[in-house]
Amino acid sequence: MERHVYLRMTALEDRHWWFVARRRILAEVLTRCIDLPASADILEAGCGTGGNLAMLARFGRVRAIEPNAEARALASGKGDFDIRDGRLPDGLPFAPDSFDLVAALDVVEHLDDDVASLRSLADVLRPDGHMLITVPAFAFLWSEHDVQHHHRRRYTKARLLRAVTDAGLAPVAASYFNTWLFPLAAAVRMAKNLLHIKGVDDDAMPPAVLNRLLAAVFASERWLIGRVPLPFGLSILMICRKRPAD
């Protein structure tokens, strides 16, 4: 990602509605949909500036990799976490079968080889381990936001399913999410693309009242994910298990 994106992220991720609501959704999914052992060993692959680490630490002992040195330093300031330099697919500093959960939260879309990278993450999962993946959805929503964040692609659920199965993972559950706000967000992005509007950040901080409202609307989807597969959304969430060896 661009340097200014990391700096904006660390300034916003504790209070911006998108980050706040997504953490609520992910915490609910981890609580209700994934049977983790007590004191689970958890890896966050590509932790960025560390906004998810405290949430993940509610479920076990968290370690993380992050290839960007400045982001890694910012993340290290958010708690006593083991955050290492690491890259995908070939630079994971962990032994096979080390983790009960691997979280790749808006990471896979950044990688040149998504299948090889997912396969490397599968290798560090224990035989009964789970992987939690989120990615941005739908190529027609491609915008300056994707360029600034150095995305390589946006996904459909079918495309992500192909990638995880090709990587040797067994999908357990999948859903689009950020569905309630999809019509508004999609209309804004397509209008900006059509009118060639640049320099207006999608993640600008809204006024406090609107920020709380958007967070509440987005977070309300946590009661549906894992129970009802939402048919479209700005993002995709997928839970996978490590496929048993033949």
Residue 51, domain CATH = 3.40.50.150
Structural domain count, the chain: 1
Kindly report, residue by residue over 12-57, the tens digit of the pLDDT: 899 999 999 999 999 999 999 999 998 899 999 999 999 999 999 9
Pairing of strands 40-45, 60-65: parallel
Query: Can you point out the beta strands (E) in 121-188?
Result: 125-136, 169-177
| Alpha-carbon separation of residue 98 from 60, 82, 83, 127 (angstroms) | 13, 14, 15, 10
- pLDDT for residue 241 is more than 80: yes
- Report pLDDT for 113: 97
- pLDDT for residue 128 is more than 70: yes
Is the CA virtual torsion 165, 175, 157, 237 positive or negative?
A: negative
Question: What distance in Å separates the CA atoms of residue 74 and residue 185, rounded to the nearest whole number?
Answer: 29
Other CB atoms within a 10 A radius of the CB of residue 212 amount to 14
75 close to 6: Cβ distance less than 8 angstroms: no
Q: Which domain holds residue 7?
A: 3-242
